């Protein structure tokens, strides 16, 4: 039975749940230190607000903590900063126990609500600037979409300068000492969380930080991991720094970056890659580079993908498929903004040669711009075919430099 409810500020208490055993979160994240599902109660002179719930399996802990601090009849508002199940898992049960409470969600959450709660529930929506009153306490809402779901919002308790930041500034780091000045060193978890959850949405991070800058923030109360009260500005500055980093090569050369990634069984796809790179590099203003996927670490893949304006992927066809490292490369786009990057695919093949089309199709789903049909060559490329590869690389590089052509569909 949990005994811990922790005071966050005079009127705010932690009522969340701890998940020390979780080792993988949302399929893609490793959580060596477990995690927590942070939920908070805010008490005002007229009643209380519950800020988020917890993952369903942890509901019992959440309700025990909540009941130790308030009666259900006192709950005026239930605020869901976004509807992901790790925070909305106890919502339906809470609403049945506190039917008088008003549910507050963002505008974007409305369509998702039916997917989370199967019964009809009454709700109000909040956008930037909306406030709710708990008598002597006022909570103001801020629209901070995509951090981490499209419906995400944040809120600010004016009287006690507490920012409820949603997933922003979160860490998957279980430590029941809870506060950043009490817990162990969670710096790796804070950065890892940013890299995997926030990095694809850097522009939205900067927009959110701009909204937060209106407020004097004394405490950041995120939805996972330590509550940040020692020097909130430090964490804000870290997010600002990571979201504003200039691309390394762009910073150095001011040129468009085109990367050719390839794997090769019998050197044929490699020969194609060489010519494609040469063609791309012949275009003024473009720096072309080549990378053998057989030896590229995932972290390097992510950095290179992020840095590249254009990405050309080459794979042989083995058993009717592109090779696994090519798919692994594209799966790294889960951590990045893909919209607007230019893509293309190529490969040598022996029998059927589906790989370039398959990679092309995948890039289309990932919202790449695809200015050229995939190019495939049977076995050893001839001199003429290598010239085609040169032209292919040059064509993609010209598009990266802004040459207007009709996009291939
Ligand atoms: Fe912690 Fe996006 O849920």
| pLDDT tens column, 144-195 | 999 989 999 999 999 999 999 999 999 999 999 999 999 999 999 999 999 9
Between 337 and 128, whose confidence is greater? 128
Residue 120 has pLDDT above 90, yes or no: no
- For residue 170, the ligand 1 atom closest to its alpha carbon is 1
Contacts for 252 with CB less than 8 Å, ≥ 6 apart: none
Residue 252 has pLDDT above 80, yes or no: no
Lowest-confidence region among 20-29, 67-76, 208-217? 20-29
Confidence of residue 283 (pLDDT cuts 50, 70, 90): very high
Residue 44 has pLDDT above 70, yes or no: yes
Residue 337 has pLDDT above 80, yes or no: no
Q: What are phi and psi of 252, to 5 degrees?
A: -75, -45
Lowest-confidence region among 11-15, 31-35, 58-62, 302-306? 302-306
The CA distance from 98 to 92, in Å, is 10
In the chain, % of residues over pLDDT 70: 95
**Average pLDDT of every residue of the chain:** 93
The CA distance from 69 to 3, in Å, is 11
Ligand 1 atom 3, closest CA:
84
pLDDT average, residue stretch 12-19: 97
Buried b (16+ CB within 10 A) or exposed e, 300-328: ebbebbbebbbbbbbbbbeeeebbebbbe
On whether the CB atoms of residues 109 and 75 are closer than 8 A, the answer is no
| The domain made up of 248-400 is a member of CATH 1.10.10.10 | no
Residue 45 has pLDDT above 60, yes or no: yes
Residue with tokens 């940013």: 194
The CA distance from 311 to 355, in Å, is 16
Neighbour tally for 341: CB within 10 Å: 20
- Residue 187 Cα, ligand 1 centroid: separation in angstroms? 19
- The token pair at 180 is 């950043």
Q: Which pLDDT value is given to residue 5?
A: 79
Neighbour tally for 118: CB within 10 Å: 8
Residue 2 has pLDDT above 60, yes or no: no
Residue 248 has pLDDT above 70, yes or no: no
224 lines ligand 1 (CB under 6 A): yes
**Nearest by Cα to 148 from 211, 220, 94, 85:** 85
- Residue 167 Cα, ligand 1 centroid: separation in angstroms? 6
- The token pair at 118 is 């199967």
- Residue 127 Cα, ligand 1 centroid: separation in angstroms? 19
- Residue 251 Cα, ligand 1 centroid: separation in angstroms? 33
- For residue 84, the ligand 1 atom closest to its alpha carbon is 3
- With 0-12 / 13-18 / 19 or more C-beta atoms within 10 angstroms meaning exposed / middle / buried, residue 199 is middle
- Residue 335 Cα, ligand 1 centroid: separation in angstroms? 15
Question: Given the DSSP bridges, would you call strands 342-349 and 310-314 parallel, antiparallel or unpaired?
Answer: parallel
151 lines ligand 1 (CB under 6 A): no
CA 405, distance to chain mean position in Å, is 32
- Residue 43 Cα, ligand 1 centroid: separation in angstroms? 24
Q: Is the dihedral of CA 116, 152, 48, 129 positive or negative?
A: negative
User: Can you give the residue ranges of every domain in the chain?
Assistant: 6-244, 248-400
- For residue 148, the ligand 1 atom closest to its alpha carbon is 2
The CA distance from 171 to 19, in Å, is 13
Q: Which pLDDT value is given to residue 121?
A: 85
Residue with tokens 């990571």: 242
Confidence of residue 251 (pLDDT cuts 50, 70, 90): low
The CA distance from 153 to 166, in Å, is 7
Characterise 364 by phi-psi region: left (phi > 0), alpha (psi -120 to 50), beta (else): alpha
Confidence of residue 408 (pLDDT cuts 50, 70, 90): low
Q: Which pLDDT value is given to residue 409?
A: 47
Confidence of residue 249 (pLDDT cuts 50, 70, 90): low
**Enclosing H/E stretch for 301:** helix 298-307
On whether the CB atoms of residues 314 and 269 are closer than 8 A, the answer is yes
167 lines ligand 1 (CB under 6 A): yes
DSSP state of 195: I
354 lines ligand 1 (CB under 6 A): no
pLDDT tens for residues 60-106?
999 999 999 999 999 999 999 999 999 999 999 999 999 999 999 99
Q: Which pLDDT value is given to residue 214?
A: 96
Confidence of residue 16 (pLDDT cuts 50, 70, 90): very high
Distances from the Cα of 28 to the Cα of 15, 24, 80, 263, 333, angstroms: 27, 7, 24, 25, 12
- Residue 245 Cα, ligand 1 centroid: separation in angstroms? 25
- Domain 6-244, CATH number (from 2.40.170.20, 3.60.15.10, 2.60.40.420, 3.40.1360.10): 3.60.15.10
In the chain, % of residues over pLDDT 90: 85
pLDDT average, residue stretch 378-385: 96
Ligand 1 atom 2, closest CA:
148
- For residue 223, the ligand 1 atom closest to its alpha carbon is 1
Q: Which pLDDT value is given to residue 148?
A: 87
On whether the CB atoms of residues 157 and 172 are closer than 8 A, the answer is no
- Residue 201 Cα, ligand 1 centroid: separation in angstroms? 14
- For residue 37, the ligand 1 atom closest to its alpha carbon is 1
52 lines ligand 1 (CB under 6 A): no
- Residue 204 Cα, ligand 1 centroid: separation in angstroms? 16
């Amino acid at each position: 039975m949990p005994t811990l409810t922790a005071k966050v500020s005079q009127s705010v208490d932690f009522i969340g749940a701890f998940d020390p055993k979780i080792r993988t979160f949302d399929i893609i994240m490793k959580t060596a230190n477990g995690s927590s599902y942070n939920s908070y109660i805010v008490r005002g002179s007229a009643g209380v607000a519950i800020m988020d719930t917890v993952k369903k399996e942890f509901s019992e802990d959440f309700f025990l903590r909540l009941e130790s601090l308030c009666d259900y009849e006192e709950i005026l508002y239930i605020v869901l900063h976004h509807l992901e199940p790790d925070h909305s898992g106890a919502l339906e049960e809470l609403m049945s126990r506190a039917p008088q409470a008003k549910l507050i969600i963002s505008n974007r959450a409305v369509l998702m609500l039916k997917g989370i709660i199967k019964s009809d529930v009454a709700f109000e929506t909040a956008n930037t600037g909306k406030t709710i009153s708990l008598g002597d306490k006022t909570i103001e809402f801020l629209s901070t979409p995509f951090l981490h779901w499209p419906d995400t919002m944040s809120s600010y308790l004016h009287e006690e300068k507490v920012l409820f930041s949603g997933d922003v500034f979160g860490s998957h780091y279980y430590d029941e000492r809870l506060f950043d000045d009490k817990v162990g060193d969670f710096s790796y978890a804070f950065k890892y969380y940013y890299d995997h959850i926030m990095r694809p949405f850097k522009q939205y991070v900067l927009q959110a930080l701009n909204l937060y800058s209106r407020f004097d923030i004394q405490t950041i109360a995120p939805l996972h991991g330590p509550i940040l009260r020692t020097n909130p500005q430090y964490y804000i500055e870290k997010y600002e720094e990571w979201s504003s980093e200039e691309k390394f090569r762009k910073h150095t050369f001011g040129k468009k970056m085109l990367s050719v990634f390839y794997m090769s069984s019998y050197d044929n796809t490699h020969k194609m890659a060489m010519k494609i790179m040469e063609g791309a590099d012949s275009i003024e203003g473009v720096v072309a580079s080549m990378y053998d996927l057989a030896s590229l670490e995932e972290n390097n893949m992510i950095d290179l993908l992020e840095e590249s304006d254009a990405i050309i992927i080459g794979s042989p066809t083995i058993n009717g498929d592109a090779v696994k490292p090519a798919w692994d490369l594209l799966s790294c786009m889960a951590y990045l903004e893909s919209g607007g990057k230019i893509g293309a695919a190529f490969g040598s093949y022996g029998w059927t040669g589906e790989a370039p089309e398959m990679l092309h199709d995948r890039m289309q789903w990932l919202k790449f711009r695809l200015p050229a049909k995939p190019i495939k060559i049977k076995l050893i490329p001839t001199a003429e075919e290598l010239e085609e590869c040169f032209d292919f690389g040059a064509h993609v590089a010209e598009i990266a430099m802004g040459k207007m052509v009709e996009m291939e569909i």
